[in-house]
């Protein structure tokens, strides 16, 4: 829509400006949501979306250039606001039909999404990166480009046998939701006197059921090490033979509503910390990367030798990617697989990291991993913890059609990360306090669709 490329940041920004500046033929009324179509129909033609004709069922209405959806129950306003919208949306392609019923609008401060049921399944079909916060009893949606989600693209593909790409813009959404204010008490001063009742009042209509909360699409944590390869590695230290025991669920992940899924082609390249690798390599320790993780070769740089970095491939557990209005606003959860063991026979410790997850989420960006340690003969069972805090300030990822890459993201030990890598003090050894610098990392999120 708008003829905009999906992958490059500049055209996207231009695209957005064009969308936001498109004049509205008329504004949405109270408790109405209006979608000014990105591709208005010409003449008497029916509007289309991704080549399929788009019609609506009452009380929703459509013109050649806009769709108006109306609330069928009192909206619920709050940090997450929800409105049940009457009517249906129908896409037709040849003899195939996709009907979206029980429409619901969900708005947070960061995003607005439109979901509906297809058969018995609820699908979040469209999403905009503009959210809204209610003021009193009223919530005004900021105008935003409503784009097809990855789930919406899959639903259209399976129902219509048609490919409409994730991120295709349906139109610009706007509207106002108003929660009914408390009814004025009868006989309030100033107003006209109430009319006398001439017929028996109808029994009060049952209060409409509040809309069921729509949970954001959760992105699962990976389970135990997904690589079933037999353990061919025996560490020359306090080894953990065989697969690691399952770690707990770990820190909560942000509830992203993805615009794309993240595939196994994703990668993380990270050295953890150069001096740590130096310590192991030069003072009698060893490291081993396996189950998909790999240790790159040491290289000579202009500033001297640099130790090889670890690469971790994407896990089979699907991550999530939310394409922002600009690349700097992109958010992602990238699950990785592979395991790295840091062993020191003479100092008597082993630190194992596996199943890393990189979360790119503004100030909450972090690296989570399963950490299985044996510092001094006592095994600390595998536990999923935040290893590092990431500083995304000033980092702008680069996008291609199917990848988004964050390069050189500064990382620092979290308090759990500090505990995983620091000696206890009894047998000597160094430590990294929380906040101490780790190596910057590079993560590539491969997307399931452009």
- Give contact residues for ligand HEM (rule: CB under 6 A): 275-276, 279, 283, 347-349, 351, 375-376, 421-423, 427-432
Give the CB-side neighbour count of residue 299, counting CA atoms within 13 A: 9
DSSP codes joined into one string, 247-268: P---SPPP----SEEE-TT-EE
Q: Does the N-terminal peptide bond of residue 59 adopt cis geometry, omega within 30 degrees of 0?
A: yes
Query: Who contacts 337 (Cβ-Cβ below 8 Å, separation ≥6)?
Result: 222, 225, 226, 227, 291, 292, 293, 312, 313, 314, 315, 316, 354, 355
Q: In the complex with ligand HEM, which residue's Cβ is closer, 164 or 419?
A: 419
CA distance linking residue 386 with residue 359, whole number of Å: 10
Q: In the complex with ligand HEM, which residue's Cβ is closer, 219 or 351?
A: 351
State the residue number with the nearest CB to ligand HEM.
429
Question: Minimal distance in Å, beta carbon 391 to ligand HEM?
Answer: 20
Q: In the complex with ligand HEM, which residue's Cβ is closer, 137 or 431?
A: 431
CA distance linking residue 372 with residue 386, whole number of Å: 13
What does the DSSP 8-state code read for residue 274?
A: H
233's tokens: 């590695």
Q: Do the beta carbons of residue 375 and residue 344 sit within 8 Å?
A: no
96's tokens: 């195939």
Question: Minimal distance in Å, beta carbon 244 to ligand HEM?
Answer: 17
Q: In the complex with ligand HEM, which residue's Cβ is closer, 164 or 238?
A: 238
Q: In the complex with ligand HEM, which residue's Cβ is closer, 221 or 422?
A: 422
Dihedral sign for Cα atoms in the order 116, 121, 126, 127? positive
What does the DSSP 8-state code read for residue 447?
A: B
146's tokens: 């409503």
Please list the helix, strand and coil fractions of the chain in percent, rounded to the nearest 5, in that order: 10, 40, 50
Please name every residue paired with 388 in a beta bridge, in sequence order, or none if there are none. 367, 413
Question: Minimal distance in Å, beta carbon 399 to ligand HEM?
Answer: 35
DSSP codes joined into one string, 89-135: EEEEETTEEEEEEEEEEEE-SS-EEEEEEETTEEEEEEEES-----B
Query: Who contacts 83 (Cβ-Cβ below 8 Å, separation ≥6)?
Result: 31, 33, 71, 73, 75, 76, 104, 105, 177, 211
Question: Minimal distance in Å, beta carbon 71 to ligand HEM?
Answer: 58
> Any idea how long the chain is?
450
CA distance linking residue 387 with residue 204, whole number of Å: 58
Question: Minimal distance in Å, beta carbon 373 to ligand HEM?
Answer: 7
Q: In the complex with ligand HEM, which residue's Cβ is closer, 330 or 439?
A: 439
Q: In the complex with ligand HEM, which residue's Cβ is closer, 4 or 272?
A: 272
Question: Minimal distance in Å, beta carbon 340 to ligand HEM?
Answer: 14
Question: Minimal distance in Å, beta carbon 142 to ligand HEM?
Answer: 48
Mapped onto helix, strand or coil, the DSSP state of residue 392 is coil
Q: Between the CA atoms of 312, 317, 323 and 324, what dihedral angle is there, to the nearest 10 degrees? A: -80
What does the DSSP 8-state code read for residue 190?
A: T
Q: In the complex with ligand HEM, which residue's Cβ is closer, 78 or 430?
A: 430
- For residues 312-321, b (16+ Cβ closer than 10 Å) or e, as one string? bbbbebbbbb
Mapped onto helix, strand or coil, the DSSP state of residue 287 is strand
Q: In the complex with ligand HEM, which residue's Cβ is closer, 226 or 423?
A: 423
Question: Minimal distance in Å, beta carbon 417 to ligand HEM?
Answer: 11
Q: In the complex with ligand HEM, which residue's Cβ is closer, 216 or 429?
A: 429
Question: Minimal distance in Å, beta carbon 84 to ligand HEM?
Answer: 55
Q: In the complex with ligand HEM, which residue's Cβ is closer, 186 or 426?
A: 426
Question: Minimal distance in Å, beta carbon 420 to ligand HEM?
Answer: 8
Question: Minimal distance in Å, beta carbon 307 to ligand HEM?
Answer: 12
416's tokens: 């759990």
Question: Minimal distance in Å, beta carbon 350 to ligand HEM?
Answer: 8
Q: In the complex with ligand HEM, which residue's Cβ is closer, 283 or 379?
A: 283
């Amino acid at each position: 829509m708008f003829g905009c490329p999906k992958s490059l940041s500049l055209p996207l920004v231009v695209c957005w400006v064009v969308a936001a500046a498109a004049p509205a033929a008329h504004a949405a009324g109270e408790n109405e949501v209006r979608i000014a179509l990105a591709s208005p129909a010409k003449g008497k033609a029916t509007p289309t979306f991704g080549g399929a004709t788009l019609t609506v069922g009452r009380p929703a209405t459509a013109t050649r250039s806009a769709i108006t959806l109306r609330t069928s129950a009192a909206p619920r306003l709050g940090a997450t606001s929800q409105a049940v919208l009457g009517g249906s949306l129908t896409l037709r392609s040849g003899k195939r039909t996709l009907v979206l019923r029980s429409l619901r609008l969900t708005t947070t401060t960061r995003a607005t999404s439109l979901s509906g049921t297809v058969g018995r399944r609820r699908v979040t079909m469209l999403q905009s990166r503009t959210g809204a916060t209610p003021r009193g009893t009223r919530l005004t949606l900021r105008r935003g480009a409503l784009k097809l989600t990855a789930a919406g693209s899959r639903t259209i593909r399976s129902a219509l046998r048609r490919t409409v790409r994730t991120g295709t813009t349906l139109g610009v959404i706007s509207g106002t939701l108003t929660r009914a204010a408390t009814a004025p008490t009868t006989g309030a001063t100033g107003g006209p006197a109430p009319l006398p009742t001439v017929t028996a009042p109808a029994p009060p209509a049952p209060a409409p059921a509040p809309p069921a909360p729509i949970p954001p699409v959760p992105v699962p944590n990976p389970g135990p090490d997904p690589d079933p390869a037999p353990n061919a590695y025996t560490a020359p230290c306090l080894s953990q033979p065989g697969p690691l025991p399952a770690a707990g669920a770990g820190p909560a992940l942000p509830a992203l509503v993805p615009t794309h899924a993240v595939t196994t082609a994703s990668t993380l390249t990270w050295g953890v910390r150069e001096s740590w690798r130096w310590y192991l390599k030069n003072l009698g320790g060893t490291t081993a990367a396996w189950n998909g993780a790999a240790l790159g070769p040491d290289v000579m740089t202009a500033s001297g030798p640099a130790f090889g970095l670890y690469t971790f491939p994407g896990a089979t557990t699907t991550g999530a990617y939310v394409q922002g209005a600009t690349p700097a606003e992109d958010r992602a959860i990238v699950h990785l697989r592979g395991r790295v063991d840091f062993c020191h026979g003479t100092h008597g410790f082993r630190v194992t990291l596996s199943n890393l997850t990189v979360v790119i989420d503004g100030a909450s960006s972090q690296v989570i991993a399963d950490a299985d340690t044996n510092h001094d003969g006592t095994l600390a069972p595998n536990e999923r913890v935040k290893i590092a805090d990431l500083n995304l300030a000033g980092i702008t990822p680069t996008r291609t059609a199917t990848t988004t890459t964050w390069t050189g993201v500064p990382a620092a030990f979290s308090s759990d990360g500090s505990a995983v890598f620091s000696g206890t003090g009894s047998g000597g050894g160094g430590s990294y306090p929380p906040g101490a610098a780790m190596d910057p990392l590079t993560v590539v999120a491969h997307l399931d669709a452009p």
